[in-house]
Amino acid sequence: MPENLLSEADVRRLSALLDESKHIIVTCHVSPDGDAMGSVLAFSHYLWRKGKDALPMVPNIFPDFLKWMPGTERVRVYEKHEGELNPLIAAADMIACLDFNAPDRLLGMQKPVLESPARKVMIDHHLDPSDFCEWRLSRQDMSSTCELLYRVLVQLDGLEPLTYEEATCLYTGMMTDTGCFSYNSNRSDIYYTVGQLLTKGIDKDKIYRNVFYNYSADRFRLMGYLLYVKLEIFPEYHASLMTLTRAEQKMFSHKKGDTEGFVNIPLQINKARLSIFLREDTERNCIRVSLRSVDDFPCNRMASDFFNGGGHLNAAGGELTCTMDEATDLIRKALKQYAPLLKEGSQMNTKQE
């Protein structure tokens, strides 16, 4: 059984904050992914069974392939509903900040959240957390925020009260944030947690199908186009690049989440060490940068050095405000600078820390 993450003082403090709060906003980072939505919904279900007036609120729309998750019908989307939701943020007793480490990850929600007198708590697994919350649990060694949240909920309340809905949301976040347990997932604790979640009656195979067998035909045509037309290989760096413009997204009737997982595909190429995906954002004037790697190549360092971002060792991201041509030129500079580490890809490091 894994050791407790929280000290007795932490448990008392968080319990007191929860006991003192009735109206709680539960939120996450912009462009929510499976871990963000999983943690928001799991914590919301926990709060609902505790009799709290909890409101799951996300900065902007989340992908269609996550809308099957229990509780999504109660999620409020902040973007384009600011006038209605700002008073609720201002009136909250607590704001739970899940799966993000700094308030700028909220984009439009940042100002009302920071101005709200509500107590703020953070549960997150990203590097370099900002100090904007009264209570904070930040563990970069965790596979996902959902794994971290599971450990918190069990320490607060025990395993027995954990519901099927909470377990479903937690497993979804763990599964998606580890690429179906293909990276950041070598600790035995992760699989102990999965085993405990299975005791709640979740169907992990169905969860997998709900997430990954739920795409449109246009999404598959877009994937084929990217792999056949847009994939650029840099064999000297064991790296690859795909780019996607707004015009190309329109051509394939792109919807939120349609490109989820595309950046992982080129890692299946023999000796591949790094995959980069550039996508022009359809909501803001920027280019989203996604990086995935294998073994010990530091995506997070490259994202920080070149793409105004960060993340984890094997999965990171950032964004650029420039043209696509300028962005691809920057990619080439990044590859050249990181060439020594990339060329080590033929010497796979399988040692476990």
For the chain, percent helix, then strand, then coil, each to nearest 5?
45, 15, 35
Predicted TM-score (pTM) of the model is 0.88
Strand partners, 337: none
Calpha distance 187→146 (Å, rounded):
15
What mean pLDDT value characterizes the chain? Answer: 94
Q: Write b or e for each residue in 177-189: b if 16 or more Cβ atoms lie within 10 A of its Cβ, otherwise e.
A: bbbeeebbbebee
Task: Please give the backbone phi and psi of residue 280, each rounded to the nearest 5 degrees, phi first.
Answer: -65, 125
Sign, CA torsion 104/109/112/114: negative
**Which residues of the chain fall short of a pLDDT of 50?**
346-353
Domains in the chain: ranges and CATH? 8-212 (3.90.1640.10), 218-346 (3.10.310.30)
> What was the pLDDT predicted at 349?
39
Euclidean distance between CA atoms 245 and 224, whole angstroms: 15
What whole-number distance in Å separates Cα of residue 165 and Cα of residue 6? 24
pLDDT per residue as tens digits for the range 219-238: 999 999 999 999 999 999 99
Q: Within 10 Å of residue 210's Cβ, how many Cβ atoms?
A: 17
98: number of Cβ within 10 Å? 29
Using the Cα atoms of residue 248, residue 250, residue 251 and residue 257 in order, give the sign of their dihedral: positive
Tokens of residue 138, six digits: 């930040």
- pLDDT computed for residue 348 by the predictor: 40
